[in-house]
Chain A
Amino acid sequence: MTMTSTVKAPEPTVPPARRRDTRRPSRFGPGAGKQLQGGPFAYIALAVVGIGSLLPLYWTLVAASHTQDEVLATTPPFLPGGRLLHNLDAAWNQAHLGKAIVNSFLVAGCITAATLFFCTLAGYAFAKMRFRGRGALMTGVIATLTIPPQLSVVPLFMMMSDIGWGGQLESVIFPTLVSAFGVFFMRQYLSEALPYELVEAAKIDGANNFRIVRSVVLPVARPAMMVLGMLTFVQAWNDFFWPYLALNQQNPTLQVALGQLSASYTPDQSIVMAGALISTLPLLVVFVIFGKRIVGGIMSGAVKG
């Protein structure tokens, strides 16, 4: 549609905004998007993507509820079968899954709690306090986001064995007690959501800094902490690389146990899938319950990134 020459100038008497309403509405932008319904094409395309997103998860369930022979047969099954409990039981016994679940909750729980506490404090400091070197230090925090863990695993492994944490959960928990993303996320949130007057008022009332944090900052930060908590938990729960190197067969997290289960000599694929189901299910439940908040969190964290 090249009609640039014909429709160029609107009559000066009609304000552009109102003029637009009389024509076909624009299909873009936030304002426009609010007016325009997605057509059938949008729904079909989204349905295709949605099925693509969910199909592998469904296939996990199907494979976990049949025997391996059935799953790998020339015509694979498409509906869940009746062997789910048997396979879950087998996975549970073959891969220390009971211990792994406890470990995963411990690791992800500790990391989440510590991240929330430290990142809220640091985020508050960077958002609302003035101190020498603030800009440079914040730049430093963001710069650390770009350093992959691969670069430091060899000495980390040696250090951990040195201080007696080799194969222990501490070796997985301590390096991730705080996160640069968390500091950044809380800073962005608090610099907008926390009115400076509130901090000032508390100061005039004679509250010291820690008291301000407890009774002013934390209540304001709570919604962002919820989101950061969920994102951190998901990440800690799913982390694979360092835990796989640091932990051993006797003391794994779920992901490590799953990796080891599949690395055994002749893994039964159905049992492996049962393990995958166990390791994914807790998060899927969290997702179904808090999906909206997590979506909102990723979007709000990203828009200022």
Chain B
Amino acid sequence: MATSTPTPDAYAPPPGGSPHASARSGRQTWRSRLWRFDDKASPYAYIAPFFLVFGAFGLYPLLYTGWIALHRVEMTGLNQMEWAGWDNFDEILHDAEFWTAVTNTFLIGVMSTVPQLLVALGLAHLLNYRLRASTFWRTVVLTPYATSVASAALVFALVFRADGGLLNWVLHFAGLGDTNWANGHWTSKIAISVIVIWRWTGYNALIYLAAMQAVPADLYEAASLDGASRWQQFRKVTIPSLRPTILFTIVISTIGSMQLFGEPLLLEGGRLGATGGNENQYETLSLYLYNYGWNLGHLGPAAAVAWAMLALLLIIAAVNRLIGRFVRTSAV
């Protein structure tokens, strides 16, 4: 999508705007002017709401966050901003909890994104067969998408409960010991990843399925004529054709995992939820931001966390670009 210059000849000129118009009455010229104005201004009027809303509630606050990050602002007195310089950044960057949150966000991001996309790929492949009641299967697979973060997190909190949890009952039944899921460093991350995977796998599978159905059939025909096995076809035809889509889902999932909030907040709920466990073992960056701003009431450091997230996002974007370039240039 280049920044193309408009080509005026794409439109039939409005009736009033014809060369003869100027010779006619003043009323006609007025009308033609109105026409031209309508033609020129309408597109801007139609896209204006998006940019107005985004400017007011997206871009302006985003920049303002940077300004707040340099001030001392408390929840108790929102109108009193006191210059603080780099203090807020100093505070969070020297807080071990912040780095725990960064690590957790990254780990949970990987632990939820990778299995999710792999399963989604396999699932899409299954859904691509000719199936009885294919719409039924697609809908069933997508059902978790209709569930909110809150309900999903709360059900899984019940499943992962230390005593009386459904999962521990199953493990007990299988002769394995109980696990205090939320307490462990890895087990709590697994629990949160499971919630994410459950909610988003079907969604991603449908995105892959759509891309799979757009792969031209002759590619497969050619491959099978060359004697490629099913697995070879999947690897050498399907996956390369899906590359842009896979990259797209990776980007979307990465951005999504940066935002994990409801899942850790509600895994144990209450006081533990707000700090991501008694040792912050599942505290994410969003949770850290929330805890600083809305629990402790210090909005300055919370804003600093937001900008730290922005920095992380830019790093991830750069890495994604590099991967994208590598994927594009490397041979199949």
A residues within 8 Å of B by Cβ?
A: 1-4, 6-8, 10, 16-17, 19-20, 23, 26-39, 42-43, 45-46, 49-50, 52-54, 56-57, 59-60, 63, 71-76, 118-119, 121-122, 124-126, 129-141, 144, 146-159, 161-162, 174-175, 177-178, 180, 183, 200, 203-204, 206, 208-210, 213, 234, 237-238, 240-241, 244-245, 254-255, 258-259, 262-265, 267, 269, 272-273, 276-277, 279-280, 283-284, 286-287, 291-292, 294-295, 298-300, 302-303, 305
Contact = CB atoms under 8 A, between A and B. Distances in A.
6 contacts: A53-B143, A76-B164, A118-B53, A125-B42, A150-B306, A238-B150
A303 to B, nearest CB: 4
Given A147-B58, A241-B261, A299 B299 contact: no
B177 to A, nearest CB: 15
B137 interface: yes
Nearest to B273: A263
Interface in B1-57: 1-8, 10-12, 14-15, 35, 38-40, 42-44, 46-47, 49-51, 53-54, 57
Interface stretch (B180-188, B207-215, B275-283): B207-215
A148 B150 contact: no
Nearest to B62: A152
Nearest to B50: A178
A72 B161 contact: yes
Contact of B217 (A31, A73, A177): A31
Contact of A276 (B44, B146, B154, B164): B154
A240 B199 CA distance: 14
A298 B65 contact: no
Contacts of A2: 227
B2 to A, nearest CB: 6
A132 B47 CA distance: 12
B141 to A, nearest CB: 6
Contacts of A154: 61, 65, 68, 293, 299, 302-303, 306
B214 A158 contact: no
Given A150-B306, A152-B61, A286-B146, 14 more contacts: A16-B222, A74-B169, A133-B3, A134-B6, A134-B43, A148-B259, A150-B261, A151-B62, A154-B306, A177-B49, A255-B148, A284-B146, A294-B139, A298-B206
Given A38-B131, A262-B266, A148 B258 contact: yes
Contact of B210 (A36, A131, A206, A300): A300
A37 B129 contact: yes
Nearest to B303: A154
B135 interface: yes
A280 B270 contact: no
B260 to A, nearest CB: 10
Interface stretch (B95-103, B309-317, B324-332): B309-317
Contacts of A213: 46
B71 to A, nearest CB: 11
B1 A135 contact: yes
A290 to B, nearest CB: 10
Contact of A273 (B10, B147, B158): B158
Contact of B15 (A31, A151, A204): A204
Given A30-B215, A46-B137, A151-B309, A16 B225 contact: yes
A154 B67 CA distance: 11
B65 A151 contact: yes
Contacts of B8: 130
A245 B57 CA distance: 15
Contacts of A264: 270
A302 B57 contact: no
Contact of B47 (A4, A16, A122, A234): A122
Contact of B248 (A57, A280, A305): A305
Nearest to B169: A76
Interface string B96-136: 00000000000000000000000000010011111100010
B135 A292 contact: yes
B46 A124 contact: yes
Given A149-B259, A175-B58, A139 B1 contact: yes
A74 B73 CA distance: 49
A55 to B, nearest CB: 9
Nearest to A119: B50
Given A53-B141, A53-B143, A292-B135, A141 B6 contact: no
Contacts of B39: 209
A23 B135 CA distance: 29
Contacts of B193: none
